Structure 1
Amino acid sequence: MITIVPVETKKQRAKFIDFPHDLYEGDPNYVPELFVAQDDMLNPNKHPFFKHSSLQLFLAYQGDKIVGRIAGIYNTNHNAFNNVNEGQFGFFDCINDQEVADKLFQAAEEWVKQKGANNIVGPINLTTNDSTGLLVEGFDRPPMAMMPYNFPYYQDLILQAGFEKKVDLRAYLVNKENSNKRSVMLLDKLEERLGRSGIILRQINLKDFANEAEKIKKVYNKAWDKNLGFVPMTDDEFAHTAKDLKMIVDPKYCIVAEKDNELIGFALGIPNINEIQIKIKRGRLFPTGIFKLLFGRKKIKSLRVLMLGVLDNYRKLGIEACLYGRIIKNAIPSGIEEAECSWMLDHNYLMNHAIEQINAEFYKRYRLFEKAI
């Protein structure tokens, strides 16, 4: 018999966070999330998301054994900004059993419906600024930092539960072997041309991080305003994210574009800490995980470009390609062997073209699903 239990206590939340470690045990591509980070994200007393929105976690039990989990999410800011009335589901993990999956989805659907939603979309692991989408192509290697991973059978469970495809998201890979060095070299000339128009590219100044972050926030919230499902970060949410990212940001991989001392675009790449996290058992930093994290950072050989945006008036000038190119050029002498650019909407032709200009390989596909309720 399958029982669905709402998560209400700290102990239950810990079980919710830990379930994937047991489910994926033995999978060489599974990367455990850090417990402290997940607990922070799902704690209503800590994460700024809960100042405007809400979620409910659910665990599925078969007898006394946990066999699945899901979150129902109601993002008030998302609905107001996009003029919709939908809920989301996220943090979905489940054994390969349709009955378990159906009951999990039913619990999430009923919860968001009680909030007033008439549609449910997912998987979105809190917001679209966090881990988003279901992996449907590219199961042969671990995910990059802050990207999801799941078993191939998840898609069948979701479709059989009555969901339909909403949109696909793309991840591209650039490495030493497939990077088009000629294209990257040509970006120098493109940068010179931009310079004649008063547009310059530079690295972020970590000594002035607070002001730099404030400028980036303004561009971020404007540059993505037409992206599917996007919702601007609140000041608290951006500060929370910036604080976390500052610990791993390398100025070589955070490039901004300016005109007349005004920020008009930026790109952010971060070291792929999943290379270390994959070795941290059950995501626990103590007693030994903290040392793996601290001493392993210099050995990281890959990075992820997770944010890139240019204000609408400055698109189609080649700034996007230059931002990507500058990061790739900086990465190669630093021992980085490959970089992932993710994620892009399947129909974001401008951004996808900018990435393809440096001969990046479209190597992973993620999918969002939706269902009327």
Structure 2
Amino acid sequence: MIEVVKVSDKKGLKAFIDFPHALYAQDVNYVPELFIAQRDLLSPGKHPFYEHSQIQLFLAYQNKEIVGRIAAINNTNHNKTYEVTDGFFGFFDCINDQEVAGQLFNAAEAWLKAKGLTKVLGPANFSTNEVCGLLIDGFDGPPVAMMPYNAPYYLNLLEAIGFKKNVDLRAYRYTAGNYSERSVRLMEGIEERLKRNDITLRTINLKNFAAESAAIREVYNKAWDKNLGFVPMTDKEFDYTAKDLKMVLDPEFCILAEQHGKIVGFALAIPDINQILIKIKRGRLLPTGLFKLLLNKKKIDGIRILLLGVVDGYRKMGIEACLYGRIIKHFKARNMKYAEASWTLDHNDMINKPIEDIGGQLYRKYRILEKAI
């Protein structure tokens, strides 16, 4: 017998966070999330998402053992932005059992329907501003920092429930020596041309992080306004994310383009911290995880190009190529082994073609699915 219950206390939250560790215990590609980060993310009062929206966590039990989990998400800012009645699901993990998956989604959809929502999309934790997408192609290695991971059978489970493709997301990979240096050579000429329009590139100033972060937030909300399901981050949400990213940030991998002191574009690549997290058992920093984190941070030899955006009116001027070029130049100087550019929309040729032109190889795909409820 399968029983699906709402998570309503700290004990249930701990079980919710820890379930994937058991599910993927034999999977060498699984990377545990840090427990304290997941706990704060899923705790009203800890994360600013809860100031405008709600979630409900569910656990599925079979013979008194946890066999699945899911979060039903009512992102009211998303619905106000697009004037829709969409719900989301996230944090979905499940054994390979259609009945268990069905029961989990029955519970999540009932909760969403009670909120007056008529469609469910996902996976998204909590939106496309955070970790999102179902891995559908490229199961040959661990995910990079802040990218999702799941077993191959998940897609079959979801399609059997009635989910269909909404859109696919792409991840590209560069390896050392296997990328085009043409962009780096062209970059210098393009930068000179941009200077004639008073557009210059520089690295982020961490000593003035608060002001820099506020300016980047404005660009982020403008540059991504037409992206898939994009919802502008509130000031508190952006600051929360920026504070986390600052802990792993290499200033040379955060490049700003500005004109007359106003930021008009930026690119951010972060170290692939998953190289360390994969070795931290059950995502616990104590007693030895913190030591591993601090000891190995400088040994990371891969990056994820997480964000690259230019505000409308400044696109197709060559700024994007210069931002990529700067990152590649530093990537080479640091003798790194690989970089992932992710994610991009499957149909976004304006972004995908430049990535491919400088040697990016499409190696993973993710999917956002949808279903009427």
Name the TM-score class by shorter chain. over 0.9
Instruction: Report the Cα distance in structure 1 between the residues aligned to 2:158 and 2:91, rounded to whole angstroms.
Output: 13
Deviation digits for residues 176-234 of structure 1 (CA, Å, limit 9, x no counterpart): 13211223222222222222222111100001101100100000001111111110000
Letter in 2 for 1:99: E
After TM superposition, list the pairs within 5 Å mapping 1:291-306 onto structure 2: 291-306=291-306
Comparing 125-134 with 70-79, which one deviates more in the overlay? 125-134
Instruction: Report the Cα distance in structure 1 between the residues aligned to 2:304 and 2:326, rounded to whole angstroms.
Output: 14
2:81 is matched with which residue? Answer: 81
Letter in 2 for 1:266: F
In structure 1, the residue corresponding to 2:264 is in which secondary structure? strand
Percent of aligned pairs with the same residue? 61
Instruction: Report the Cα distance in structure 1 between the residues aligned to 2:39 and 2:332, rounded to whole angstroms.
Output: 35
Instruction: Report the Cα distance in structure 1 between the residues aligned to 2:205 and 2:327, rounded to whole angstroms.
Output: 15
1:176 is matched with which residue? Answer: 176
1:46 CA drift (Å): 0.4
Instruction: Report the Cα distance in structure 1 between the residues aligned to 2:241 and 2:272, rounded to whole angstroms.
Output: 17
Instruction: Report the Cα distance in structure 2 between the residues aligned to 1:128 and 1:273, rounded to whole angstroms.
Output: 21
Comparing 355-364 with 266-275, which one deviates more in the overlay? 355-364
Comparing 348-357 with 16-25, which one deviates more in the overlay? 348-357
After TM superposition, list the pairs within 5 Å mapping 1:234-245 onto structure 2: 234-245=234-245
After TM superposition, list the pairs within 5 Å mapping 1:44-63 onto structure 2: 44-63=44-63
2:371 is matched with which residue? Answer: 371
In structure 1, the residue corresponding to 2:178 is in which secondary structure? coil
Comparing 135-144 with 194-203, which one deviates more in the overlay? 194-203
Contact 1:344-1:352 at 8 Å conserved across structures: yes
1:354 CA drift (Å): 2.1
Contact 2:183-2:321 at 8 Å conserved across structures: no
Deviation digits for residues 233-262 of structure 1 (CA, Å, limit 9, x no counterpart): 001111111111111111100001011111
Contact 2:219-2:311 at 8 Å conserved across structures: yes
In structure 2, the residue corresponding to 1:312 is in which secondary structure? coil
Verify: 1:39 aligned to 2:39, yes or no. Answer: yes
Comparing 225-234 with 316-325, which one deviates more in the overlay? 316-325
Deviation digits for residues 322-347 of structure 1 (CA, Å, limit 9, x no counterpart): 11111111121113221111111111
Comparing 14-23 with 175-184, which one deviates more in the overlay? 175-184
Deviation digits for residues 98-147 of structure 1 (CA, Å, limit 9, x no counterpart): 00001111111111111111000000011211110000011001100000
Instruction: Report the Cα distance in structure 2 between the residues aligned to 1:246 and 1:72, rounded to whole angstroms.
Output: 30
Letter in 2 for 1:215: A
Instruction: Report the Cα distance in structure 1 between the residues aligned to 2:365 and 2:196, rounded to whole angstroms.
Output: 38
1:369 CA drift (Å): 0.2
1:223 is matched with which residue? Answer: 223
Contact 2:206-2:251 at 8 Å conserved across structures: yes
Contact 1:252-1:331 at 8 Å conserved across structures: no
After TM superposition, list the pairs within 5 Å mapping 1:251-330 onto structure 2: 251-330=251-330
Runs of 4+ in 1 over 4 A off after TM superposition: none
Contact 2:128-2:228 at 8 Å conserved across structures: no
Gaps of 5+ in 2: none
1:86 CA drift (Å): 0.4
Contact 1:302-1:338 at 8 Å conserved across structures: yes
Verify: 1:138 aligned to 2:138, yes or no. Answer: yes
After TM superposition, list the pairs within 5 Å mapping 1:87-166 onto structure 2: 87-166=87-166
Letter in 2 for 1:209: F
2:17 is matched with which residue? Answer: 17
1:278 CA drift (Å): 0.2
1:353 CA drift (Å): 1.6
Q: TM-score, normalised by structure 1?
A: 0.99
What is the RMSD of the two structures over their aligned residues, measured on CA atoms? 0.9
In structure 1, the residue corresponding to 2:306 is in which secondary structure? strand
Letter in 1 for 2:19: F
In structure 2, the residue corresponding to 1:33 is in which secondary structure? coil
2:362 is matched with which residue? Answer: 362
Contact 2:264-2:310 at 8 Å conserved across structures: yes
Comparing 283-292 with 186-195, which one deviates more in the overlay? 186-195
1:357 CA drift (Å): 2.3
Gaps of 5+ in 1: none
Contact 1:325-1:358 at 8 Å conserved across structures: no
Contact 1:200-1:257 at 8 Å conserved across structures: yes
Letter in 2 for 1:69: R
Instruction: Report the Cα distance in structure 2 between the residues aligned to 1:134 and 1:156, rounded to whole angstroms.
Output: 11
Instruction: Report the Cα distance in structure 1 between the residues aligned to 2:183 and 2:325, rounded to whole angstroms.
Output: 8
1:43 CA drift (Å): 0.4
Instruction: Report the Cα distance in structure 1 between the residues aligned to 2:263 and 2:182, rounded to whole angstroms.
Output: 28
Instruction: Report the Cα distance in structure 2 between the residues aligned to 1:335 and 1:40, rounded to whole angstroms.
Output: 35
Instruction: Report the Cα distance in structure 2 between the residues aligned to 1:182 and 1:47, rounded to whole angstroms.
Output: 43
Instruction: Report the Cα distance in structure 2 between the residues aligned to 1:372 and 1:247, rounded to whole angstroms.
Output: 40
Instruction: Report the Cα distance in structure 1 between the residues aligned to 2:67 and 2:174, rounded to whole angstroms.
Output: 37
Letter in 2 for 1:89: F
1:312 CA drift (Å): 0.9
Letter in 2 for 1:231: V
Q: TM-score, normalised by structure 2?
A: 0.99
1:345 is matched with which residue? Answer: 345
